[in-house]
Amino acid sequence: MKKIGIGFLIALFALVNPVLALAASGNDYPEGGKMLPRYVKAAEVDKPVNVKTIISEAYNNKELNVAVGDTFKISLASNPSTGYEWMLRDWDKTRLVLVNKGFVNPNSSPQIVGQAGRSCWTFKALKNGRVQLKMTYARPWESVQPLKKYQVTVNIGPARSDAVVKVTTREYNHKIKYKSVDLDIPVLSGLSNQTVQKRINKLLENDAMTWKAGVEDDFNDYVKECQMAGFPVRPYEMVSKYTVCTKNSAFLSLYVDYYQYTGGAHGQTDRRAYNIDLKTGQVLDLRSLFVTNYDYKTVINKEIRKEIAKDPDNYFTGKEGFKGITKQQRFYIQDRKLIVYFNQYEIAPYAAGIPEFKIPLSTFKGNYRIQ
């Protein structure tokens, strides 16, 4: 009688009881960590930790940016009853720890054999650095090329600290005959790099003062013309208000609404957004939000056109209508959405206000840099 090989036994177990087959080979649990049951309800996988980000096959060969203390989950399609399983290669455990692991069978009870599902790993970032996670989908006893491969590079930055970085208001109020000025200027504090902090604050203040000076020049010319022609002088009003949209230790997104009323039927608002890398002080353009060679313009244009099509009467058409985003496209980040906007009269009449198009960051399938 021929001896029965261990590979044959594991294959037999995989067909009869996938739980036993997985238990025999799963050596990538954390030491002393909590092992989850191999078959669990989808909602139970995240119980031990608060998972901020879930990535899947779309992240293969891409980069994920997280901060120290963040948790994230990798979820990949699998079917252990075939004998195939995802095997996680060794990685830098001083920077990234595996908190738990499980197999989610969302559509069936644990007793049904042969049902496909998703293998899940939850990690927590421990310290700054760069970690590569590599997995292969194969039968452990076979010495052949794996059926599938998966790799993601995790960039771990400093811990997030919303409480440290603050934005307060410097008020500038001035009122004389025929002219009223009421400016709220954002002032940043709490950055460890004081040079960068001063540069950002100078930018925000200079923009406000430059705008005020330009409107005042128009006002002075207007007063002279009225006096020469004998016309009454209408009062001028200048107001600026800001809104903080996203703020953490590494990134700030806010916009300032500059409003001016210079007579006539209504005033006009110029919205200026500031998306700032707080490590360097650099003001980011739309292109710098995305990974190299990603066609973000096509994705954004498609989303905008889809929204315009829902109510086309609110927008200009033809040469005056939306033609696509530009290199200088205005935007801000809020509630994990990219908000692309257009100022008054750009693509719609005044009655439409400032058209905004809210695109969830998940639309870009991990091809963006901002977390």
For 15, residues 6+ apart whose C-beta sits below 8 A from its C-beta are 81, 83
Q: What is the CATH number of the domain that holds 35?
A: 2.60.40.2020
Q: Which of 282, 304, 327 is the last residue of a domain?
A: 282
pLDDT of residue 31: 33
259 and 179 together in one domain? yes
More confident residue, 42 or 304: 304
Q: Which of 231, 255, 282 is the last residue of a domain?
A: 282
Q: Which of 255, 282, 309 is the last residue of a domain?
A: 282
CA distance 121 to 87: 11
Phi, psi of 189 (to 5 degrees): -145, 160
For the chain, what is the domain count? 3
Beta bridge partners, 65, equal 155
- Within a domain: residue 303? yes
Q: What is the CATH number of the domain that holds 252?
A: 3.30.565.40
pLDDT higher than 50, residue 60: yes
59 and 82 together in one domain? yes
112 and 128 together in one domain? yes
56 and 81 together in one domain? yes
Q: What is the CATH number of the domain that holds 362?
A: 3.90.640.20
User: Hey, what amino acid is at 176?
Assistant: I
Domain extent, residue 69, equals: 6-157
355 and 219 together in one domain? no
CA distance 140 to 22: 10
pLDDT of residue 45: 37
126 and 174 together in one domain? no
Residue-wise pLDDT for 252-274, tens only, equals 999 999 999 877 778 889 999 99
CA distance 150 to 76: 9
The token pair at 247 is 């703020």
pLDDT of residue 186: 97
301 and 241 together in one domain? no
- Within a domain: residue 318? yes
Q: With cut-offs at 50, 70 and 90, classify the pLDDT of residue 127.
A: confident
175 and 149 together in one domain? no
pLDDT higher than 50, residue 62: yes
Residue-wise pLDDT for 301-320, tens only, equals 999 999 999 999 999 999 99
117 and 34 together in one domain? yes
CA distance 119 to 80: 9
Q: Which secondary-structure segment (H or E) carries 216?
A: helix 194-229
- Within a domain: residue 1? no
